[in-house]
Amino acid sequence: MANSEGFVVVGAGLTGASAVRGIREGGFLGRIRLIGAEAHRPYIRPPLSKDYLSGSADRESVFVDSEAWYVENNIELFHSTTVTAIHPAEHRLDLDNSMPIGYDKLLLATGSAPRRLTIPNADLDGVHYLRTLDDSETLHNLLAEGGRSLVLIGSGWIGMEVAATARTLGNEVTILERNPIPLADALGDELGTMFADLHTENGVDLRASVVVESIAGKDGRATGVALAGGEVVSADLVLVAVGVIPNIGLADAAGLAIDNGVLVDASLQTSEPDIYAAGDIANAYHPVAGMRLRSEHWANALNGGKAAARSMLGEKVSYDNIPYFYTDQFDLGMEYSGFGPLTQGAEVVYRGDRAGREFIAFWLAGGRVVAGMNVNVWDVNDAVQGVIRRANFVDPARLVDENVPLESL
Ligand SMILES: Cc1cc2nc3c(=O)[nH]c(=O)nc-3n(C[C@H](O)[C@H](O)[C@H](O)COP(=O)(O)OP(=O)(O)OC[C@H]3O[C@@H](n4cnc5c(N)ncnc54)[C@H](O)[C@@H]3O)c2cc1C
């Protein structure tokens, strides 16, 4: 019978969770199946490197919805189930643990996986990655009492957040970074240096411009990290945080168009009819930026899932949220909005107290604001996003003047 299989969402992360909620709340009465490889119902990942890792957030607070919500809303949630193949022509999916299932419309929300190290001994016990709730609990158990030595390989957002949490819990923390300045690719040298200083001031041993050669070990356990030149930095545990890779194998094998993620248009539709993609895997055309963007952040999972739901329900959707993310490290909290790729070579100007780490940074490209970051300044994010969205030519002198309302720019 036509239209009897309903909607299927593959990947029970935040994108999948927001999508099934959006589909149901959008009035769809048919069958909705949410299929996830993990043993848990959908949860959010940002606390896994921050307050859940430290132990100050309780377990229930990380889940997106209660178990009861899925029952009450008649969402069929498949735990511990991996989709192994998609057959677009037949509108059918293969599962690893049961019979194939059909779909009328399909959303791919398979997210990302940590990039693995391939250096010698990288698979020794004591070498950790952080992506899942279980990973975070393992690390919490190792770090919560303090007094351990943690060596982090990589100083991206997750590495820096774990460093801050682990240090705050009373552990010795060393960060090994191959670039001269952490986060410089995302923020530029000046702001990357601000984060480096923050960590150094708080007792993190930040070692930049180093080359990690292998994991040192004894009796099958990691005991440190060997650097080019022969030095071994000793460690009770090692965390590898060298970025993530989008899980696009399923989409690729099914013949969907792929290029730095699953290619989708502004309505989040893939190259195949009735198949959509959102969240970390989607490389979507962004109508405001005028280019394709793939965002590996929480807000894109939340909003992209909702937008995909509307699109699947037949609404005309143009997903144009300004990319957004945040971080909390020691006493510094920040929100960043904007188009990272457009900030390369842009001029950075500051409104507020830069030395005191209470300011808003703006990236100006061709006279327009393409990104903004508020550091320890709150309730300005909507206004910052407004400046980016309006894309007016802005006088830098007015941009940095705290007396000029952002709404007027
Ligand atoms: C520790 C950590 C801290 C973070 N902190 C921040 C932060 O502070 N701010 C921020 O903006 N972002 C943060 N992020 C990033 C943010 O969490 C991600 O962008 C977001 O989780 C992406 O959501 P998603 O649903 O697209 O993918 P995911 O969260 O990766 O979920 C995808 C799910 O799909 C499942 N899956 C994959 N393949 C299959 C398959 N074939 N069959 C069935 N299931 C499958 C996976 O197991 C996974 O559960 C953080 C991420 C981590 C790991």
| CA angle, 241 then 246 then 250, to 5° | 140
Residue 348: per-residue pLDDT: 97
258, β-bridge pairs: 262
- Residue range 192-241, pLDDT digits in tens: 999 999 999 999 999 999 999 999 999 999 999 999 999 999 999 999 99
Given a cut of 60, is residue 2 above it in pLDDT? no
155, β-bridge pairs: none
207, β-bridge pairs: 176
Shortest-distance atom of ligand 1 to CA 17: 25
Q: Is 40 in the pocket of ligand 1 (CB under 6 A)?
A: no
φ, ψ at 77 (rounded to 5°)? -105, 115
Contacts (Cβ under 8 Å, ≥6 apart) of 61: 47, 52
Using most ligand atoms within 8 A of CB, pick from 45, 77, 103 the residue to mutate for ligand 1. 45
Residue 137 structure tokens:
């609990």
Q: Is 202 in the pocket of ligand 1 (CB under 6 A)?
A: no
- Measured N-to-C along each axis, helices 157-168 and 133-143 cross at an angle, to the nearest 10 degrees, of 30
Calculate how far, in angstroms, residue 147's C-alpha sits from the geometric centre of ligand 1.
Answer: 30
Residue 170 DSSP one-character state: T
Q: Is 34 in the pocket of ligand 1 (CB under 6 A)?
A: no
Residue 4: per-residue pLDDT: 82
Average pLDDT of the residues of the chain? 97
Given a cut of 50, is residue 324 above it in pLDDT? yes
- Residue range 373-399, pLDDT digits in tens: 999 999 999 999 999 999 999 999 999
The H or E element containing residue 135 is helix 133-143
Q: Is 110 in the pocket of ligand 1 (CB under 6 A)?
A: yes
- Residue range 329-351, pLDDT digits in tens: 999 999 999 999 999 999 999 99
Contact 225, 235 (CB under 8 A): yes
Given a cut of 60, is residue 3 above it in pLDDT? no
- Residue range 247-277, pLDDT digits in tens: 999 999 999 999 999 999 999 999 999 999 9
Residue nearest to atom 53 of ligand 1 (CA): 131
Given a cut of 50, is residue 98 above it in pLDDT? yes
Shortest-distance atom of ligand 1 to CA 295: 19
- Residue range 357-373, pLDDT digits in tens: 999 999 999 999 999 99
Q: What percent of the chain has a predicted confidence (pLDDT) above 70? A: 99
Tell me the pLDDT band of 287, cut-offs 50, 70 and 90: very high
Residue 213 structure tokens:
């050669």
Given a cut of 90, is residue 1 above it in pLDDT? no
Residue nearest to atom 24 of ligand 1 (CA): 111
pTM: 0.97
Using most ligand atoms within 8 A of CB, pick from 34, 110, 129, 140 the residue to mutate for ligand 1. 110
